[in-house]
C-alpha cells in the first residue's frame, strides 16, 4: 500500500477508535428514574430557608400517614439552605446547626419509610439564597450526594456568570453518572435559555418558568424578579408547543405546587389538574403535617394522578382557547383520552360542548377522534358525572374551577 494511503487508513482507524472510546465512556442521565413525572414534596414554597432535619423527618412521616405515599408520592426534597461551608478539602458540609445528625442519617430515615431523599444545589458559585454552589466542585459534590444516599438533585441557575447552561448542566449530569447512583436530575433554569431544546438527554425535567406564587392570575414582584400565579405559568410558553419535547424521562416542569397554600379550593383543584394534564412533576409545596382534608383530597385524587402518570407519557394540548374557556386534551394509553374544561374567569361559565362538532386531531401522536364515527363514554374525575359523546355536554363551571373527564371507547 502506498505510504500516503497507509497514513490515511491509519488516521481513519484512529478517528474510529477515538469515537468508539468516547461513545463507550460517554455519560448518560440515570435511566432507571424519572421515567414518569416525579411525585414528591419540596420544602421551598412553605419553609423558604427555614429547613432542619426535624421538619424533614416529620414531613416524611406525614407523607406516609396522609396517604400521599400510597397515592404515589415518593420524593422528600430539601431545597436551598441545608448547606454549611466546604471543609478544607472542598467537601460540602451540611449546616451542623440545622442538620446535626448529618445528611446520611436523614437519608437512612427517609429510606426506612420507603421514600427517597432529594437535595438542592446550584450550577453557579452560590445558590439563590447565597449558600455554596457546585461550580468547580461538580464531581466532588455528586460523589458526596451519592455517599449520603441522595436520590434526586434539583440544580438551580443563580450566580452563573459566564457559564454556558447546556455545558454546566451536562457537567453535573456526567458527575452524577460518575458517582454511580441513580439520581433524578431536575434542571431549574427557569426556561431562560430554552432548556427544552437541549436538556432532553441531560435532565429528567426542566423548569419552564420563574418561581410560582400561590395566586390565580397574578405576578408578585420581588424587585429584580417576579413570581407567578397559576394562569401566568400556564400561559408563559403557550406559543412554543412545549409538549413536543416531553415524554418518558423528559418533562416540562411547571414548578412545585401551591395546593394548600392559600388559594381557593377551586383554584387548588384546577392547579393540580392542569399540572397533571401537562405531565409536570407533581411536587407538593405545602405543610403536609397540618394540611386540610380538602388539600389532602386534592393531592391524593388517584384519577387525576393517573393522568399524570399515564404510561403513554403524552403531555396535554390546549385544544380550545376561547376567552375564559380553555379545553385541554390528553391522549392516554389504551385508546383513552382526558378532557379538562377550565373556567379561567371570575363568573360561572356555561359550556355547551357538542362532541360531534369537535373532531380531535393530535399531530404529535397522530391520534385523532371523530365523534361522528366513534362513541366514547366518559366519567368525571372530580364530580360524579357520567355520559357518552352522542349527546352534547352541558356544563356549568364555577369561577376558576375545572371539570375533568376520562373518555373510553364505548364497548
Residues in touch with ligand GLA (CB under 6 A): 44, 79-80, 127-129, 156, 188, 211
Grid-cell match 391524593, residue found:
300
Smallest distance, Å, CB 192 to ligand GLA?
Answer: 11
Answer for the pair 195, 123: CB distance below 8 angstroms, yes or no.
Answer: no
Is residue 211 part of the annotated active site? The answer reads: yes
Grid-cell match 454549611, residue found:
84
Answer for the pair 189, 168: CB distance below 8 angstroms, yes or no.
Answer: no
Smallest distance, Å, CB 130 to ligand GLA?
Answer: 9
- Cβ distance to ligand GLA smaller for residue 127 or 301: 127
- For the chain, count helices (H), then strands (E): 12, 22
Kind plus residue range of the DSSP H or E element containing 55: helix 53-65
Smallest distance, Å, CB 395 to ligand GLA?
Answer: 35
Sheet strands side by side (includes 402-409): 317-322, 325-331, 337-343, 402-409, 376-380, 386-388
Residue 110 exposure: Cα atoms within 13 Å on the Cβ side:
32
φ/ψ of 350, rounded to 5, equals -95, 130
Is residue 156 part of the annotated active site? The answer reads: yes
**Burial label, 411 (beta-carbon count in 10 A; 0-12, 13-18, 19+):** exposed
Answer for the pair 228, 219: CB distance below 8 angstroms, yes or no.
Answer: yes
- Cβ distance to ligand GLA smaller for residue 228 or 339: 228
**Burial label, 237 (beta-carbon count in 10 A; 0-12, 13-18, 19+):** middle
Rounded Cα gap, residues 61 and 56, in angstroms: 9
- Cβ distance to ligand GLA smaller for residue 259 or 402: 259
- Cβ distance to ligand GLA smaller for residue 187 or 274: 187
- Report the residue closest to ligand GLA, judged by CB: 128
User: In this structure, what DSSP letter does residue 324 have?
Assistant: T
- Cβ distance to ligand GLA smaller for residue 213 or 382: 213
Answer for the pair 150, 107: CB distance below 8 angstroms, yes or no.
Answer: yes
Smallest distance, Å, CB 79 to ligand GLA?
Answer: 5
Mapping DSSP onto H, E and C, the string for 163-177 reads: CCHHHHHHHHHHHHH
- Cβ distance to ligand GLA smaller for residue 48 or 354: 48
Alpha helix (H) residue ranges in 162-315 = 165-178, 195-198, 230-236, 265-277, 293-299, 302-308
- Cβ distance to ligand GLA smaller for residue 79 or 141: 79
- Cβ distance to ligand GLA smaller for residue 127 or 389: 127
**CA nearest to 328, candidates 249, 393, 218, 234:** 234
> Pick the catalytic residue: 52, 79, 156, 401?
156
> Pick the catalytic residue: 52, 80, 122, 211?
211
Grid-cell match 419552564, residue found:
208
Kind plus residue range of the DSSP H or E element containing 253: strand 251-253
Smallest distance, Å, CB 80 to ligand GLA?
Answer: 4
User: In this structure, what DSSP letter does residue 132 have?
Assistant: B
User: Any idea which residues carry the catalytic annotation?
Assistant: 156, 211
Amino acid at each position: 500500500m502506498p505510504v500516503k494511503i497507509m497514513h490515511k487508513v491509519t488516521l481513519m482507524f484512529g478517528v474510529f477508535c477515538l469515537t468508539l472510546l468516547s461513545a463507550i465512556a460517554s455519560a448518560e442521565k440515570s435511566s432507571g428514574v424519572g421515567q414518569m413525572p416525579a411525585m414528591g414534596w419540596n420544602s421551598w414554597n412553605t419553609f423558604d430557608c427555614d429547613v432542619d432535619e426535624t421538619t424533614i423527618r416529620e414531613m416524611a412521616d406525614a407523607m406516609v400517614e396522609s396517604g400521599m405515599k400510597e397515592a404515589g408520592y415518593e420524593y422528600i426534597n430539601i431545597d436551598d439552605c441545608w448547606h454549611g461551608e466546604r471543609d478544607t478539602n472542598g467537601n460540602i458540609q451540611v449546616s451542623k446547626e440545622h442538620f446535626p445528625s448529618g445528611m446520611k442519617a436523614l437519608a437512612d430515615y427517609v429510606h426506612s419509610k420507603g421514600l427517597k431523599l432529594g437535595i438542592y444545589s446550584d450550577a453557579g458559585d452560590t445558590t439563590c439564597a447565597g449558600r455554596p454552589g457546585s461550580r468547580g466542585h461538580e464531581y466532588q459534590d455528586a460523589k458526596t450526594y451519592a455517599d449520603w444516599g441522595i436520590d434526586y438533585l434539583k440544580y438551580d441557575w443563580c450566580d452563573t456568570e459566564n457559564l454556558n447552561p447546556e455545558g454546566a448542566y451536562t457537567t453535573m449530569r456526567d458527575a452524577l453518572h460518575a458517582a454511580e447512583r441513580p439520581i433524578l436530575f431536575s434542571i431549574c433554569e427557569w426556561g431562560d435559555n430554552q432548556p427544552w431544546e437541549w436538556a432532553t438527554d441531560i435532565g429528567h425535567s426542566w423548569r419552564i418558568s420563574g418561581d410560582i406564587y400561590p395566586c390565580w392570575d397574578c405576578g408578585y414582584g420581588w424587585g429584580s424578579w417576579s413570581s407567578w400565579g397559576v394562569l401566568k405559568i400556564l400561559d408563559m410558553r403557550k406559543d412554543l408547543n412545549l409538549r413536543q419535547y416531553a415524554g418518558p424521562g423528559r418533562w416540562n416542569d411547571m414548578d412545585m405546587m401551591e395546593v394548600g397554600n392559600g388559594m381557593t379550593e377551586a383554584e387548588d383543584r384546577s392547579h393540580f389538574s392542569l399540572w397533571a394534564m401537562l405531565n409536570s412533576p407533581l411536587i407538593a409545596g405545602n405543610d403536609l403535617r397540618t394540611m386540610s382534608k380538602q388539600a389532602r383530597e386534592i393531592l391524593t385524587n388517584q384519577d387525576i394522578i393517573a393522568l399524570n402518570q399515564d404510561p403513554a407519557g403524552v403531555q396535554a394540548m390546549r385544544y380550545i382557547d376561547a376567552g375564559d374557556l380553555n379545553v385541554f386534551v390528553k391522549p392516554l394509553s389504551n385508546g383513552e383520552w382526558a378532557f379538562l374544561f377550565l373556567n379561567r374567569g371570575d363568573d360561572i361559565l356555561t359550556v355547551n360542548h357538542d362532541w360531534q362538532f369537535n373532531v380531535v386531531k393530535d399531530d404529535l401522536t397522530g391520534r385523532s377522534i371523530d365523534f361522528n364515527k366513534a362513541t366514547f363514554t366518559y366519567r368525571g374525575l372530580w364530580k360524579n358525572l357520567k355520559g357518552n359523546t352522542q349527546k352534547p355536554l352541558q356544563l356549568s363551571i364555577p369561577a376558576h374551577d375545572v371539570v375533568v373527564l376520562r373518555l373510553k371507547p364505548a364497548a
